[in-house]
Structure 1
Amino acid sequence: MTTAANEEAPVLLHAEGRAGHITLNRPRAINALNHAMVRLMDDALTAWERSDDIRTVVLTGNGDRGLCAGGDIRSIHDDVRAGGGAASVAFWRDEYRLNARIARFPKPYVALMDGIVMGGGVGVSAHGSVRIVTERSRIAMPETGIGFVPDVGGTYLLTRTPGELGTHLALTGSAVGAGDALLCGLADHYVPSERLPEFTAALAEADVSEVVARYATAAPEGELAAQRQWIDACYRADSVEEIVERLYDSGDRAAKEAAETILSKSPTALKVTLAALRRARDLGSLEEVLDQEYRVSAAAITAPDMVEGIRAQVVDKDRDPHWFPAELTRVTDADVARHFAPREGDELGLARGRG
């Protein structure tokens, strides 16, 4: 597969030696993913999986702000308002299949998680076999802030963090740097950003393990390890309400700030997120979790909070979402349970495909 002729294409593809490069190319949108980009990535993986000339795939993002800020949520907002969300559900179907494919890709898949890596950006990077962070990395699953629930395999990744760190990150939507990404298992190696050009160039001929050994170094210390005591104690509670109460009662300033952050998010999204995380712990594979997330995502767009959350964050930018219901206590068990109900005639079916 040769260099893309159109530099305005949303995904640029080219080969350097034995490495195939996927470059997300919407820098003004911090490379936010849309359906066309997912299809182009999948096509590239199909070609390079079969190619004897390509032995490594490298994912980068164009521009200096980050790899990928997530899915193109403005288009989801417009689709739901205009068409009921059918195009968004179709996008998620292909996106989640791509996430699973990346996780099972038979050749090294090297993701350079430099700068902002959020939501859908985590999905196309953190399932890779070699995940590189830098001092600029800011990694997050911020979905509860737009009335949504962590997807793209996010609930799979976050349930495999030490203790309750994943629950903390999922409910607050907080971003972590390189040290904490490594602690949480969201990344594998730290390379200073100034060395990324050399690192990437070396992948053209050398084995990935050799290149990593040459360029990877110790990451700056993170913050979460020192907060494990209150995080684990507070977030192991069985409800969001009890988690918030424990955070306020812990006496730790950072815990109180986490509680206040949580209370600014969509109450429905918070309760569904906690349920999704707890259920994901009992599921055996990424495919099973993605099947669950597909149900949750498709249900979420039929409720008012996601459109309202995107409106407040990226359309009107007033940062003042009006959630419905507005309080955690008014979100019923039935409200949560409907997000996990099977979709008759429209299941993702990834786990079935691996069976």
Structure 2
Amino acid sequence: MLRQAVRMTTPKLSPSAVAQGRIRAMNNWLGARVNMSTTAGKEAIEADVLHRKHLSSRTFVLNRPKALNALNLSMVRNMTPQLQAWDASDLCKVIVIKGAGEKAFCAGGDVRQVVELANAGKQDEALDFFAEEYKLNHMIATLQTPFVAILDGITMGGGVGLSVHAPFRIATEKTLFAMPETNIGLFPDVGGSFFLPRLDGETGTYLGLVGTRLKGIDTVYAGIATHYVPSERLAALEDRLAELETKNHDVINMAIEDFVSEPVHGHKYALSDDREAIDRCFRFNTIEEIIAALEKEDTLFAKKTLATLRTVSPTSLKVTLQQIREGANLGIADCFRMEHQLARQFLNGHDFPEGVKALLIEKTNAPKWAPATVEEVDREKMLGQYFRNQAPVPLSLSNTTTWKEYPFRRYGLPSEEEIRMVVKGESAGSGPLQLTPDEVADVCVKKSGGKIGVREKVQEVLSRKVTKNADGELKWTN
């Protein structure tokens, strides 16, 4: 049951007021509702990021709906100092970020603008976008104040960087997630080297290389979002968050849980049928081995995946696989530093400008990659150029905070590893005795505090990963 949200009532206007007076009065009220004066209204509406204050909450609204809220350097510079100020404020208890319009949270970074700068010989200015974007991403990841990202629409590339490292990521029925960078000759940056290898099994490797899209509640099952809230409940949720007078993350989590929707009856996780094949084929450390494993599968999934891998940038594929393997063992700060180094090389390379030109500028959809095939990309040369060629000026972050695992991982659904530990009796609360599938689900639900969606994910994972031996005991398969 949703908690009753505090709402403001529309002021009654004088029946004798003329039309212009009614319009002016309404504008005054609307301005107060979003904490903007009427004199600043026009400037705020035209800003690419709006700042809103309501009780104890502070909200960023990405305000380029015609461009699907694509992130540019102006937006990054708009948000960074304000985010620092809000994080330091005792009056601000929770920070929210969302997108304007009906279609997108943020459809990615404005890479066309970046490439145009690079093509004009302004590589340093182009690199500034990546440097300042990564600094903002790291700041979001290490905030003291609870940060809530509302992914109500397309969330790709740069939009993922603004959300995936936050403790609370809310998906809706409109959410469409992807990291499609290899398609334009880039790599899944914005901390992709950190969050992708920490998804279940080889899910992150698959998503990073192939750019597959996930929708709605599937982003919660995958570990990208932490909660699923229907879009019609978002306004009430925002009002509820604004009422809270604490920075306690557990309290914020409980407030969000009040608005979460039960999983759709009969819904099946989009990757469920292919998860075993994903783990089999994408566990290797070279693209050639991954391609050979997919060819051996000889299934519709494998054929579609191979078709995609043969279309995207071969250089991007090899760099992406290496960055994911490297990132699995790095702290989050070092992941951003590595990605800054990679971005510098891609700006000076061939495939990124070529991909943007062919797909986003000229729209021929036929980029000419160089090298043209995976076999032509020499791995040792790639490692030397992209991973051993240190940047002359390392990425400077706003703070030194780092960690190797997300500190607020508990607010999402349990990972496959956490479920495995319960099955094998290695998790606190699971006990030494052999559990039935229902008991495994019960333990996981209890450990999560009754979180909606836990039982459904546990059941899906057990259906793939667990068998019974002759004595009826559960056995976890690799």
Quote how far apart the aligned CAs of 1:335 are. Answer: 2.6
TM-score for both structures, normalised by structure 2: 0.71
Tell which deviates more after alignment, 315-324 or 340-349: 340-349
Q: Does structure 1 retain, via aligned residues, the 8 Å contact 2:35–2:54?
A: no
Q: Is residue 115–residue 347 contact of structure 2 (8 Å, CA) maintained in 1?
A: no
Specify the alignment match of 1:24 in structure 2: 62
Instruction: Flag the 1:352–1:97 CA change in 2: closer, same or farther, 3 A.
Output: closer
| Partner-residue secondary structure (3-state), 1:159 | helix
- 1:19-168 aligned at under 5 Å gives the runs 19-168=57-206
With over 3 angstroms needed to count, the CA separation of the structure-2 counterparts of 1:226 and 1:344, relative to structure 1, is: closer
1:314 deviates by: 1.0
State yes or no: 1:250 paired with 2:297.
Answer: yes
Give, as a single letter, the amino acid of the residue that structure 2 aligns with 1:310: V
**Residue of structure 2 equivalent to 1:288:** 334
- Alignment deviations for residues 212-254 of structure 1 (CA, whole Å, 9 cap, x no partner): 1210123454211321110000001221122122112213211
2:307 alignment partner in structure 1: 260
Once the 2 structures are TM-superposed, how far is the Cα of residue 152 of structure 1 from its aligned partner?
0.6
Letter in 2 for 1:20: R
Matched, 1:278 2:325: yes
| Kept in 1: contact 2:187–2:320 (CA 8 A) | yes
Contact 1:144 1:150 in 2 (8 A): yes
Correspondent of 1:239 among 286, 297, 303: 286
Secondary structure (helix, strand or coil) at the match of 1:310 reads helix
Gaps of 5+ in 2: 1-33, 245-250, 403-478
Equivalent residue in structure 1 for 2:316, among 256, 261, 269: 269
Alpha-carbon spacing, 1:238–1:68, altered in 2? closer, same or farther (3 Å): same
Structure 1 segments unaligned to the other structure (5+ residues):
none
- Alpha-carbon distance in structure 2 between the residues aligned to 1:270 and 1:336: 13
Quickly say closer, same or farther: Cα 1:84–1:248, change in 2 above 3 A: farther
2: distance between equivalents of 1:306 and 1:232? 29
**Deviation, structure 1 residue 256:** 1.4
Q: 1:171-192 CA deviation, whole Å, 9 max, x = no partner?
A: 1111112333223321100001
Write the distance in 1 (CA, Å) between the matches of 2:90 and 2:329.
39
TM-superposed deviation, 1:47 = 1.6
Q: Give the match's secondary structure for 1:46.
A: helix
TM superposition shift of 1:158: 0.5
Bigger relative contact order, structure 1 or 2, given CA contacts below 8 A and separation 6+?
1
Does the 8 Å contact 2:59/2:97 carry over to 1?
Answer: yes
In 1, Cα distance between the equivalents of 2:117 and 2:154?
25
> Does the CA-based 8 Å contact 2:73-2:133 persist in structure 1?
yes
Counterparts of 1:351 and 1:286 in 2: how far apart (Å)? 13
Partner of 2:276: 229
Residues 1:248 and 1:179: Cα distance change in structure 2 (over 3 Å): farther
**For 2:258, what is the secondary structure of its paired residue?**
helix
The one-letter code of the counterpart of 2:370 is: F
Distance 1:8 1:238 in 2: 47
Q: CA RMSD in A?
A: 1.8
Counterpart of 2:388, as a letter, is: A
Is 1:332 the counterpart of 2:370 in the alignment?
Answer: no
1:109-151 Cα shifts (integer Å, max 9, x gaps): 0000111000010000111111100111111111000000111
| Counterparts of 2:280 and 2:81, CA distance in 1 | 45
TM-aligned CA distance change 1:243 to 1:292, over 3 Å: same
How far residue 88 of structure 1 moved from its aligned partner, in angstroms, is: 1.7
Does residue 255 of structure 2 align to residue 208 of structure 1? no
Cα distance in 1 for residues equivalent to 2:391 and 2:369:
28
Contact 2:314 2:374 in 1 (8 A): yes
Q: Which has the larger radius of gyration?
A: 2
Which residue of structure 1 lines up, in the alignment, with residue 433 of structure 2?
none
TM-score, normalised on structure 1? 0.95
> What residue identity is the alignment partner of 1:217?
S
The runs of at least 4 aligned residues of structure 1 exceeding 6 Å deviation read none
